[in-house]
Amino acid sequence: MKHNLKLSKIAKKVIDLEIIALKKLKGSINNSFADAVKAIVTCKSKIIFCGVGKSYLIASKISSTMSSIGCPSFAINANECSHGDLGSISKKDVLIIISNSGNTDELKPVIQFCSRRKILLIGITSNKNSVLFKSSDIKLHIPQVKEAGLSIVPTSSTTEQIAIGDCLAIAALNVKKFNKKNYKLLHPHGSIGIQLKTAEDLMLKNNGIPFIDENCNMKQALSLITKKNLGVLIAVNKKKLTTGIVTDGQIRRSNQKKGDLTNLIVKNIMTNNPISVNKDTLAAKSLSIMSDKKITCLCVHKGNNKKKTIGILHIHHILNANIQ
């Protein structure tokens, strides 16, 4: 038990140190940060991140984030640059080098290459006296902080590096006005892709929509609802505008009461003005609407034209897509 408490205390101490580091980083943000964001957003080619050791791993993470928000990016290891990888950097690129000390030997050939080719260099370092800081066109200084574990294991400093990378990415996202629809195009699969699925992605459309004329008799309606196997029909008028919705439950209840459906027409029993969602509505939001209204289907429309149904979304379509 005492051993567990000791370990918990160590964990909390590490987190405390990293919180202090992040607060210092927050206080250090200045106009150079805005300059870096502008350089990223206006870049006509690629955003290339570079580092050594743990800084390279962080560079890879930030690069991946940049690509995911529509800023083409990749990471290179400074160790490989002197063996041919410098050829992947072109004049129109923006190079972002991450190094806590800013004096790592492997970085010097990369910095010299950028200087000779006049490639825009953004340096992220905690050392203002370093080669990296002095050579950078845009200097992002991250405060020197106390590391956890022997005071030398890269922990607080690497947290700062990841954080400043996230800040650059999200700031660029906002400047570019990059929205969820854009993001979805780059994330069609995985848990993020599932979260971003819309009504349009899952709805039935064209011949899959169970349309029926509002003046059809209920015997025809019963035949069609059985054939479509959705449990609902979308009633439309002569102008093909949606006027109501009929469920199999409504049809069966009418049959029990009246006995003969031939004398009834759809608009006699349909629910007027069915609930409709825009095609860009998130599927998760659509599911929430169904749950609140205690219904199993939604009409789907485009723009503000709720009377023009372009699809039908059933609760099973959403649940089968693993959306909850």
Give the integer Cα–Cα distance in Å for 290 and 110.
Answer: 57
Give the integer Cα–Cα distance in Å for 121 and 35.
Answer: 12
* Average pLDDT score over the chain: 93
Can you tell me which residue has the tokens 């979805």?
184
pLDDT at 259: 63
pLDDT of residue 88 exceeding 70, the answer is: yes
Q: Is 156 within 8 Å of 17 (Cβ atoms)?
A: yes
What is the tens place of the pLDDT at every residue in 133-167? 999 999 999 999 999 988 899 999 999 999 999 99
Instruction: Name all contacts of 28-34 with Cβ < 8 Å and 24+ positions apart.
Output: 28/141, 28/142, 28/143, 29/167, 32/138, 32/139, 32/140, 32/141, 33/140, 33/167, 33/168, 33/171
What is the tens place of the pLDDT at every residue in 23-39? 999 999 999 999 999 99
pLDDT at 167: 98
Q: Which of 16-25, 139-148, 165-174, 220-229 has the lowest mean pLDDT?
A: 220-229
Identify the band that residue 258 occupies on the pLDDT scale cut at 50, 70 and 90: low
Strand order in the sheet with 242-247: 211-213, 232-236, 242-247, 271-272
pLDDT at 260: 67
pLDDT at 254: 74
Catalogue all structural domains in the chain, each as residue range(s) with its CATH number. Answer: 2-178 (3.40.50.10490), 199-319 (3.10.580.10)
Give the integer Cα–Cα distance in Å for 12 and 35.
Answer: 36
pLDDT of residue 115 exceeding 80, the answer is: yes
Q: Is 217 within 8 Å of 261 (Cβ atoms)?
A: yes
